[in-house]
Amino acid sequence: MASSAGIRIGALSRQSGVNIETIRYYERIGVLPKAPRSSGGYRLYRHGDVARLAFVRRARGLGFSLDDVRELLTLADGKSRSCQRVYNMAGGRLADVRARLVDLRRLEGVLVDMVATCAEGTLPVCPILDALGHAA
């Protein structure tokens, strides 16, 4: 098999850090295009696919949904590559992340208090269960 024929899914998986089942899943839901096949029916990929998959991985890592990723890929493929829509999407993600941060910081505070009141578990009535049993 000449190298020009491309790599198979296992190699793509190793090179991109995305696992095989996930790659097939992405193809199935249209995040990745249908890969051409070898005579034996194996999916064949080229270098551009590694980059595309890395793009997906990074976007997912930033918390974009697969719907968003699909749109980002379309925008990246487009000729204009205009920023407006992308800017809005990134801004939306940033707002989500910040909202989540606020939530989690509050949570952290509550949990710290709980754990602190608990001391060493020597009390007859667990203060954590007690706290859960009454309005915060």
Cβ of residue 87: shortest distance to a second copy, in angstroms? 5
d(CA 75, CA 69) in angstroms, rounded, equals: 10
- Max alpha carbon distance in the chain (Å)? 73
Residue 67 · residue 29 · CB < 8 Å: no
| Angle formed by the axes of helices 9-16 and 20-28, nearest 10° | 100
Among DNA, a second copy, none, partner that 46 touches (CB below 5 to 8 angstroms by kind): none
Among a second copy, DNA, none, partner that 24 touches (CB below 5 to 8 angstroms by kind): DNA
Name the residues that contact a second copy, by CB under 8 A: 51, 54-55, 58-59, 61-63, 72, 75-76, 81-84, 86-87, 90-91, 93-94, 97-98, 100-101, 104-105, 107-108, 110-112, 114-115, 118-129, 132-133, 135-136
Amino acid occupying residue 8: R
55-114 positions binding DNA, by CB under 7 A: 60, 65-67
